[in-house]
Amino acid sequence: MQDIADIIGLFAIEGELQKVKANKEGHINSTFISTFIHEGKQYKYTHQKLNDSVFTRPEEVMDNIQKVTSHIQTKLIHLADRDKRCLQLVKTKQDAWYAYDEAGSLWRTYRFIDEVNTYPFLDDQHLAYRFGEAVGTFQHHLCDFPADKLHTTIAKFHHMGSRYNQLRQAIEKDKAKRLQSVQAELQFFLENEERGMTLTTALEEGRVPLRVTHNDTKISNILFDRTTGEGVCVIDLDTVMSGTILFDTGDMLRTGSITAGEDEQDLSKVGCDENLFIQMVKGYRSVADNFLTDTERQLIAESGRATTQIMGVRFLTDYLNGDVYYHIERPSHNLDRARTQIALMQDMDRKWASITGSLS
């Protein structure tokens, strides 16, 4: 790879480069953190190489990010701590938002956001409320952005009908000869297909509006202020596109309410934490209620179940296809993931009356 200092040198950063270190936390893009000294002060930056095997149209990804962050920044101009509330792209010396290295890979640079915490999982009701609040704030800032101006960088990403079509293709081909071993899981997903279409159908029929969606609203993509505990910034904007914001509430509820790891093999440990679920919704609605439609409000809880179902179908499809999409560490890994999603849905169903009653 081209020397990282040379790549950083393509960007318009004032001062002298002091050090660079690799950040191993991400699983898709290559990330580095640099430290510069300018006029006696220290400044840090985040540099990322986009994974073009995942993002096949990286310039469109960057155009979406630039449009969305610029819009959010106009909403923050009056705040003293605005620099930590939205990702800020740094331009290149050629006045562009990204640069290409000698191998043809796209690189971008953000100003580093400091004095914040991140969390790998959710286990606290107060944090759950703050999590929901952060997702609601992100959507509130973008509720007046024309979503049809964004590129579709991953087609039908959360389209349930498309995911079921892929599952049926996997069943028909049975590439890995695993079909007979997953009959119970297939039966569950096929029995739930009609209900799972709720979000997709509502969007296609115009019963919920087209809005900007993040599409990966897990808690590790929220930066929390180290002093106040507020969720101040939503990061990892590579999948920002148009859709229904219920995709984002759904992913928030799916990842935030599960009581075990996504690949837990002991299904007795897998369930839905009802209290965390409710607090996420309350935090979210404390900000979002002023722009949500009645139908969107009515479908928030359902979005958690539907998004869990989408992921379960995707994991099972990949298992039948021979594990070609998701990284695995054991032969049953994708099947284990699919089973945890089923277990989460089943526990949601057991608690559904209580959850919806608390949110009515």
What domains does the chain contain, in order, with CATH numbers?
4-114 (3.30.200.20), 125-359 (3.90.1200.10)
pLDDT above 80 (res 50): yes
Residues 120-138, mean pLDDT to the nearest whole number? 96
Instruction: Kindly give, in sequence order, each residue whose CB lies less than 8 Å from that of residue 3, ignoring residues fewer than 6 positions away.
Output: none
pLDDT digit string, tens, across residues 323-332: 998 889 999 9
Residues 178-185, mean pLDDT to the nearest whole number? 98
Collapsed DSSP state (helix, strand, coil) of residue 111: strand
pLDDT above 60 (res 11): yes
pLDDT above 70 (res 94): yes
pLDDT above 60 (res 246): yes
CA-CA-CA-CA dihedral for 18, 27, 99, 235, to nearest 10: -80
pLDDT above 90 (res 51): no
Instruction: Calculate Rg over the CA atoms of the chain.
Output: 21
pLDDT above 70 (res 27): no
Q: How many CB atoms lie within 10 A of CB 358?
A: 15
pLDDT above 70 (res 16): yes
pLDDT digit string, tens, across residues 107-119: 999 999 999 999 9
pLDDT of residue 82: 95
Residues 6-33, mean pLDDT to the nearest whole number? 88
pLDDT of residue 309: 98
pLDDT of residue 25: 67
pLDDT above 60 (res 151): yes
pLDDT of residue 254: 97
Residues 184-212, mean pLDDT to the nearest whole number? 98
pLDDT of residue 23: 84
pLDDT of residue 54: 78
Q: What are the C-alpha distances in Å from 292 to residues 91, 142, 144, 258?
A: 35, 12, 12, 25
Q: Give the pLDDT band of residue 237 (cuts 50, 70, 90).
A: very high
How far apart are the C-alpha atoms of 314 and 309, rounded to whole Å? 9
| 31, amino acid identity | T
pLDDT of residue 219: 94
Q: What are the C-alpha distances in Å from 178 to residues 181, 280, 312, 330, 333?
A: 6, 37, 16, 15, 13
Mean residue pLDDT across the chain: 96
How far apart are the C-alpha atoms of 113 and 115, rounded to whole Å? 7
Question: Strands, DSSP E only, in the chain?
Answer: 16-23, 30-38, 41-49, 99-100, 106-111, 116-117, 211-213, 222-225, 231-234, 241-243
pLDDT of residue 35: 97
How far apart are the C-alpha atoms of 331 and 349, rounded to whole Å? 29
pLDDT above 90 (res 30): no
pLDDT above 80 (res 1): no
Q: Give the pLDDT band of residue 24 (cuts 50, 70, 90).
A: confident
How far apart are the C-alpha atoms of 86 and 36, rounded to whole Å? 21
pLDDT of residue 208: 98
How far apart are the C-alpha atoms of 285 and 296, rounded to whole Å? 11
Residues 152-181, mean pLDDT to the nearest whole number? 96
pLDDT of residue 95: 97
Q: Give the pLDDT band of residue 2 (cuts 50, 70, 90).
A: confident
| 175, amino acid identity | K
How far apart are the C-alpha atoms of 209 and 144, rounded to whole Å? 12
pLDDT digit string, tens, across residues 297-309: 999 999 999 999 9
